[in-house]
Amino acid sequence: MLVAIAGLGYLIDAIVSVVVTDPAVEVSSFTFVGEVVLLGWLLWLAVFRHERA
């Protein structure tokens, strides 16, 4: 879900950058946080599942 939201943010940024020459706000700067959280969560799972096996 987080990756889908981040992808939507990048898509919106791409469309806005074509329509507007100097956008005031970039959505991807906010959705990037979700990608970092997802990366941390996946690393956390990989470490603890590896210890159980």
CA dihedral sign of residues 25, 28, 31, 33: negative
Whose tokens are 């991807």? That residue is 28
Global pTM reads: 0.59
- Which of 5, 4, 1 is CA-nearest to residue 30? 5
State the burial class of residue 40 (Cβ atoms within 10 Å of its Cβ: 0-12, 13-18, 19+): exposed
Answer whether residue 3 shows pLDDT above 80: no
Q: What is the pLDDT of residue 29?
A: 78
Name the residue ranges covered by the structural domains of the chain. 2-52
